[in-house]
């Protein structure tokens, strides 16, 4: 039995992480979205959880499931929407 099941969006937030070599702001990719954040936070607390959602077939969409595996999200159903 699961403690938390989240259904919804998984997005990429871009957070400023400093200044680049040319003096411009530098940004890093951070997975986000309220449902996704809830399951990652609950996994850190030891909950059995799952996420159900969809991401794009691009760099960002492939980054999100990899991030979750590193955060020990136990169950994930994340459909990748390919270009038609």
Q: For residues 41, 65, 31 and 42, what is the CA-based torsion angle, rounded to 10 degrees?
A: -10
d(CA 72, CA 51): 12
CATH number of the domain at 54, please: 3.40.1190.30
Give the pTM.
0.72
Question: From first to last of its 84 residues, what are the pLDDT tens digits of the chain?
Answer: 888 888 888 899 999 999 999 999 999 999 889 998 898 888 889 888 888 888 888 888 888 888 877 766 666 666 666 665
What are the b/e assignments for 43-67, b being 16+ CB within 10 Å? beeeeebbbebebeeeeebebbbeb
Burial of 38 per CB tally in 10 Å (0-12, 13-18, 19+): middle
Please give the pLDDT value at position 23: 95
Please give the pLDDT value at position 75: 60
Total domains in the chain come to 1
Residue 8's domain spans which residues?
A: 4-81
């Amino acid at each position: 039995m699961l403690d938390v099941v989240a259904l919804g969006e998984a997005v990429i937030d871009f957070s400023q992480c400093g200044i680049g070599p040319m003096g411009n702001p530098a940004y890093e990719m951070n997975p986000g979205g309220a449902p996704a954040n809830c399951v990652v936070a609950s996994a850190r607390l030891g909950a059995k959880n799952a996420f159900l959602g969809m991401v794009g077939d691009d760099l960002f969409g492939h980054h999100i499931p990899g991030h979750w595996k590193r955060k020990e999200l136990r169950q994930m159903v994340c459909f990748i929407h390919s270009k038609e």
